[in-house]
Chain A
């Protein structure tokens, strides 16, 4: 029995992988919002996750927004139609894009719901995710201070032939004109691989 459980723990299905990736984004985006000071720190509460103390928003409106986006993202992850998720940080006053967190999602397209699960231990994945989130939290040391009030938006890059749902709209990529780029670590569930990167406006 224990052996079966162990095996179940180490095998990753497409559904499970989508679940893990979406969960990572939930915590990752929350970390970015807290670390970059986009929302007041008192609207965040602490949770233990991946062996770290992470901050998660308690603002209901923001929660609903994130849930809606992440629910949709999970569906698209299952369909294997997602290519990137981008967190764009924009100045509210000037509408200028100041920061762009890009997560490239590579997906094993051969994987289907019924195919044989892949082997990778939950712990290994969590350790990789932990390293990425650590880097996000540590990024405040090199990212320039966001002087103005900022808002954020989430962009999802999907396959070209995807039917756009009613609640979604097409958007521009919101690139930053003169930017510095820092690659962060990546993690993989053996089905989805997520590469992280942050671009920020060059201050010079």
Chain B
């Protein structure tokens, strides 16, 4: 059947090719007619009227076409094909135009596409309707219970912030550069430490002279648990006891032990004469011990929390507490508490009198370094200088032995800098980034050098040339951070106490034999300063 139809179609086309006079009016004609009819009141009427008009047009030509037709064909075929001869190509797909609806109404015009009446339709309205429907569809479709549920969920998720909007700026902040390591992890930046290429003439042994065990030494940055007296006694606080090690003979004796089970010794400091040891404890006491008699001489309680730092200025003992207060104790008189220095808001962990006794430097966990004058009243003291440059707790403090007003200070993990200060003016003279926590600092008496004790990553001791701050050498060996350092009375040996529970003695400032005459004059100098201190 289909092949017959095809044949038929081809025949019809061939015949129509020659002459085409009938069919619906061309579009331009229809358009012209429509515009003339535009006065019609509504869309519908104008459409209808144009339809009628068209069907009228058509009716005239249909009979002719039907005569050309095969009887089996549906009449609807003809008008569609006859309209444009080119559409004959389409008729090659049979059955396409075979719509039953057309068969019933053979008079309706059949077009291959629908051309709406553009001029008469309201596009703005249509467009608005289409779009507005899409926008509101979600909210309209949501039932009230669903809306409530959503609100409850957002409240649960966002906490009690239903009454506020949380906004963030669209352009986010830039990320840290690629490959950047958080600086608190100093592991990989360690190699970048400034170091000199200058050859050091002096031999510095790279291994410790002795290693002593220090079991139960507290791994607490804020304490000061090591002190070396002029009588060559090394005092070490281990847990709740204080031990004395005689560096000359190697004898060890236990000086004292705290009575309370929870108490521990938090600081030790020798008087300059070396016969009395001041001990600060976690229960806020400051005790004085006669070392020769192994007896407690005094117990001074004026602080309110643990005493983590102690230092002597002749007969004045200064103590720094966890509460941030510094007390001066005159150990000769009954009413020992002679002054309070209120300059820190957090624990005082570094406390050092200058060698000439004119300045006291104090460092705290509030990142402050305060320099105080020696003249103090009982209440209401203000520091001469309050130095804020350190970005971490200041524990490491040391006064230059040959320049009375030069102070070296070192900051904790977040800071890692050694800074030099003029105590008279409060100016920062120099600063060096060590790339590692500075736990302790000492000036050499023999050389124009300093030694610093460090924590992570290498737990090393570093010797620096002053004032160039070129690195002389690094002494490694400690397995954990170097917490405390002390220097032997002759200035040749440095002892370091670390969190790995060892004490290591480094003979790093050994006296050059050629300099011996210089050393001979040394004791005279010492008595001189002592005398001067006593006169004042």
Contact = CB atoms under 8 A, between A and B. Distances in A.
A85 B246 CA distance: 60
B182 A134 contact: no
Contacts of A16: none
A3 interface: no
Interface string B367-403: 1000000000000000000101101110000000000
Contact of A53 (B168, B173, B388): B388
Interface residues of A, number: 54
Contacts of B182: 37-38, 145-147, 149-150
B171 interface: yes
Contacts, number: 133
B180 interface: yes
Given A65-B171, A131-B345, A140 B392 contact: yes
Nearest to B175: A151
Given A40-B177, A149-B180, A169 B170 contact: yes
Interface stretch (A7-15, A158-166, A196-204): A158-166
B158 interface: yes
Q: DSSP class of B's interface residues: helix, strand, loop or mixed?
A: loop
B429 interface: no
Contact of A62 (B168, B174, B185): B174
B175 A134 contact: no
Interface stretch (B61-69, B159-167, B509-517): B159-167
Interface string B161-197: 1111111111111111100111111000000000000
B365 A145 contact: no
A138 B346 contact: yes
Interface in B385-433: 386, 388-389, 391-393, 413-414
Contact of A160 (B165, B177, B413): B165
Given A46-B389, A173-B161, A140 B413 contact: yes
A147 B157 CA distance: 28
Contacts of B367: 134, 137-138
Nearest to A35: B414
A154 B185 contact: no
A173 B490 CA distance: 63
A4 B492 CA distance: 65
A159 B345 contact: no
Interface residues of B, number: 39
Contacts of B392: 140
A22 B110 CA distance: 74
Given A37-B183, A151-B173, A173-B158, A138 B167 contact: no
Contacts of B413: 140
A157 B164 contact: yes
A140 B414 contact: yes
Interface string A30-52: 00001101111100001000011
A156 interface: yes
B170 A147 contact: no
A159 to B, nearest CB: 6
B165 A159 contact: yes
B391 A65 contact: no
A100 B353 CA distance: 42
B366 interface: yes
A95 interface: no
A140 B416 CA distance: 14
Interface string B233-244: 000000000000
A173 B171 contact: no
A141 B365 contact: yes
Contact of B165 (A46, A61, A157): A157
A98 to B, nearest CB: 11
Contacts of A59: 174
Contact of A68 (B157, B161, B165, B171): B171
Contacts of B181: 149
A155 B367 CA distance: 29
Contact of B168 (A61, A156, A162): A156
B389 A140 contact: no
Residue of B161, B164, B167 with most chain A CB atoms under a 10 A cut-off:
B167
Given A40-B176, A53-B389, A69 B169 contact: yes
Contacts of A156: 166-168
A134 B390 CA distance: 12
B388 A52 contact: yes
Given A53-B388, A146-B184, 4 more contacts: A37-B182, A84-B164, A140-B392, A145-B182
15 contacts: A39-B176, A39-B180, A62-B174, A83-B164, A138-B346, A145-B185, A147-B185, A149-B175, A158-B167, A160-B163, A162-B167, A167-B171, A168-B168, A168-B170, A170-B167
Interface of A: 34-35, 37-41, 46, 51-53, 55, 59, 61-62, 65-66, 68-69, 72, 83-84, 92, 131, 134, 137-138, 140-141, 145-147, 149-160, 162, 164, 167-173, 175
